[in-house]
Structure formats: structure tokens, C-alpha cells
Homo-oligomer: A and B are copies of this chain.
Amino acid sequence: MVRSDARENRARILEAARQAFAESGDTSMNQIAQRAGVGPGTLYRNFPTREALVLAIYQHEVDQLIGSVPELLATLPPLKALQRWTTDLVSAMRKKHGLGDALSSGAHQAITEQTYGPVIAAITQLLDAGKRDGTIRTDADPGDFLQLTGALWRAASGAKDRSQPMLGLILDGLKAHPQR
């Protein structure tokens, strides 16, 4: 039984957080709680970590990204699709404050399963397509790939965006080796 006031509070927190993060990425949890007219305790009961909150806020964007996989696979060869998708992912991480940290640290957190699971599933789809047509090595692991994506995002956040050459390197590593 979820009490109605609890539901409203959760909604208010999400709304406040959405606004706050839109303005700046380094808003403190306290500020968000205050903005939502709620104590820090309530905030943390709903979202035990900053990551959980960020993921909840950007659930929609992440869903969209995940939903784009079938279309990409329908119009592009698997490797190209993976490249495009990953570029989009990194780009989303850059634009949405905190999303990068959340997704790349999320690998260790069971809390984020709701978001993290689907992302892994999306990557799995992309990789599997490539494995099926023989362009991607069969031992490629979705979790590994996501982890490497974290490095990409960090690279994209630096002074010079090195994410494209790095992605190129990773994709080359993913390619199946034609025996010569």
C-alpha cells in the first residue's frame, strides 16, 4: 500500500530534480530536497543514491535510446548501427548532467537494474546482430562494452573530444578476425 502523500512527494522530488539538473549538473541533494519542499531523509528514501535519482530523471531519454535499436538495425549493418548508437549514447551522456556518471558507475549497482538492465539488453541486441552475420567476434560481452563506453564518455568530457577515434579503436577490436 503506497500512501498518496508518498506518491506526491516522489513526483515533486522528480520535478524539482529535473529542473535543478537542467540548470546545473552540480546541484546538491540538499538543494533538490529543499526545492521539493521535502527533508533529505525523504529524498534518500526514494532515491538512495544520486545515480538512482539521475537515472529516474532521464529514464525517458534512455528508453528512447533503447527503442531506437530495432530501427538502426533495420537500416544499417550491425557495426555501423553499433557505432551510431554508441555515439548517440555518449552524446546523451554529455548533454544530460550526471547521466554519464550514473550509467558508467551503474555497472556495479544493483539499484540501477531498472535502467541498467535494458541498456545491457540493447547492447546485446546490437552485438548479437553482428555476431550473427559474422562481423563481430562471438566472445564480445555487452557488459564489457558498456564499461568501455564509460571511458568514451570521460574522453568526450575532456578538453578535446577524443571519443570518435577511441570508439573506432574499440569497434576494430570488436570485429571478427577473418582468418588469413
Residue in B closest to A107 when the chains form the complex, CB atoms: B158
Please tell me if A45 contacts chain B, counting CB pairs below 8 Å. Answer: no
Query: Known contacts being A151-B148, A154-B150, is A143 close to B162, with CB within 8 Å?
Result: yes
Residue pair B158, A151 in contact (C-beta under 8 Å): no
Please tell me if A2 contacts chain B, counting CB pairs below 8 Å. Answer: no
Question: Across the interface, which residues of B come within 8 angstroms of A107, CB to CB?
Answer: 154, 158
Please tell me if A169 contacts chain B, counting CB pairs below 8 Å. Answer: yes
Among residues 152 to 174 in chain A, which have CB atoms less than 8 Å away from a CB atom of chain B?
A: 154-155, 157-158, 162, 165-166, 169-174
Please tell me if A7 contacts chain B, counting CB pairs below 8 Å. Answer: no
Provide the bound-state CA to CA distance between A155 and B178, in Å: 28
Query: Known contacts being A108-B158, A158-B108, is A166 close to B151, with CB within 8 Å?
Result: no
| Minimum C-beta distance from A177 to chain B (A) | 8
Please tell me if A144 contacts chain B, counting CB pairs below 8 Å. Answer: yes
Provide the bound-state CA to CA distance between A108 and B178, in Å: 38
Please tell me if A72 contacts chain B, counting CB pairs below 8 Å. Answer: no
Question: Across the interface, which residues of B come within 8 angstroms of A63, CB to CB?
Answer: none
| Minimum C-beta distance from A36 to chain B (A) | 30
Provide the bound-state CA to CA distance between A154 and B152, in Å: 14
Provide the bound-state CA to CA distance between A98 and B152, in Å: 21
A-B residue pairs in contact (CB < 8 Å), sample of 14? A107-B158, A108-B157, A108-B158, A139-B165, A143-B162, A144-B166, A147-B162, A147-B166, A148-B170, A150-B154, A170-B173, A172-B172, A172-B173, A172-B175
Q: Which 10 A-B pairs have the closest CB atoms?
A: A173-B173, A151-B151, A169-B173, A172-B173, A144-B166, A147-B155, A147-B151, A148-B151, A144-B162, A150-B151
